[in-house]
Every structure is written in C-alpha cells, then in structure tokens.
Structure 1
Amino acid sequence: MRWITLALLALLALVQAELWFGKGGMPYVVALQTQLETQKAANRAATLRNEQLAAEVSDLKDGLEMVEEKARAELGMVKPDEILVQVASPRR
C-alpha cells in the first residue's frame, strides 16, 4: 500500500512538473506576455501615426493652407512675384 502511494505521488509530481515547466508551462507564458507587451507598444505607435495621418488628410480636404505648405516645403514652389532664397550650410 505504501509503494502505491509513493508511486502515485511521484506520478503526480511528474505531471505537475510537465504542466509548470513543459512546452505550455510558465516560461512559455512569460515569453508570450513579453511578446504581447511589445506588440501593444507597436500598436500604440501605429495608432498615433494613423491619427496624425488622418488629421493631415482632413486638413488637405478642408483647406488650401496645408496644400500650399506642402507644396512650398516639399516641392520648393513659390508664389508669383516671390523670390526663392536658399541658404546652404558650410561644409566641414
């Protein structure tokens, strides 16, 4: 009777060890939690960028000021009767 009890306890310990430290155990759960936090941070950054882009699209649809600003900054466009002056920084 005593040997059966010891054998069952040993078997129970093996099953518990597999549950805690096996393929789906605690180390795996911790790794998944770390991966989840990393993905959440990436999602927050992407959401912020999407909101900025949505605001920019809204500005482009509603007003011409944003179009003019982008044309001047990115394309170097000037209005009639304006003179474009570019200042280059000295080389080192």
Structure 2
Amino acid sequence: MRLLLFTLIITAVALQTQLWLSDDGYRKTHQLRVAVGEQRTQNQDLANRNAALDAEVINLKKGRAAAEERARSDLGMIGHNETFFQVVPAQSVRRQ
C-alpha cells in the first residue's frame, strides 16, 4: 500500500514538473496566448486600414470630387477657369 502511494506521489510530481517546466508546458501556452492576442490586434488594425482603402477606391471610382481632390493634391493640377498662384518665400538679403 505504501509503495502504491509513493508511486502515485512520484508520478504526480513528475507530471506537474512537466506541466510547469517543459517546453510545451504552461509557459509556452502563456506565450502563445500573448502572441495570438498581439496578432489579433495587428489583424484588426490591418482590417481597418483595408476598409479605409476600399472606401477610398469606391469613392475614386464613383465620385468626381475625390478624383479632382487627388489630382490637385498629388499632381498639382488646377481646374477649368481657376488661377494658380505660387507663393515663393522671400530670401533674406545679407547686407555688408
């Protein structure tokens, strides 16, 4: 009876040691849970960015105003009957 009890205790200690200290034990499980949480956050950020880009593409395909705004800001174009003024900063004059 004592031998059986001793064997059960040794087995329980060995199993607990494996659970807490092995490479596939509790530490690894915790690390994987943290990594999954970080990946989910990153995936959500990318999904939000993709949704914004999808909305911009749809707006560019269907709306003329968005295309005009992109042409003005990215390409420096002006519209019909508009006047373009370029303001050049004055250079400081050195007096000697």
Into which bin does the TM-score normalised by the smaller protein fall? 0.7 to 0.9
Cα–Cα, structure 1 residues 53 and 89, in superposed 2: closer, same or farther, change >3 Å? farther
Q: Which runs of 4+ in 1 moved over 6 A?
A: none
Query: 1: CA distance between counterparts of 2:68 and 2:19?
Result: 64
TM-superposed CA distance for 1:89, in Å, is 7.1
TM-score, length-normalised on structure 1? 0.82
Query: 1: CA distance between counterparts of 2:37 and 2:86?
Result: 46
Question: Which residue matches 2:94?
Answer: none
In structure 2, list runs of 5 or more residues that go unmatched: 91-96
In structure 1, list runs of 5 or more residues that go unmatched: none
Q: Are 2:70 and 1:60 equivalent residues in the alignment?
A: no
Query: 2: CA distance between counterparts of 1:17 and 1:65?
Result: 67
Question: Which residue matches 1:15?
Answer: 15
Return the index of the structure with the highest Cα Rg: 2
1:12-50 CA distance string (max 9 Å, x none) = 211222023312211111101110111011111111111
Count of residue pairs brought into register by the alignment: 91
Percent pairwise identity: 32
Cα–Cα, structure 1 residues 87 and 10, in superposed 2: closer, same or farther, change >3 Å? farther
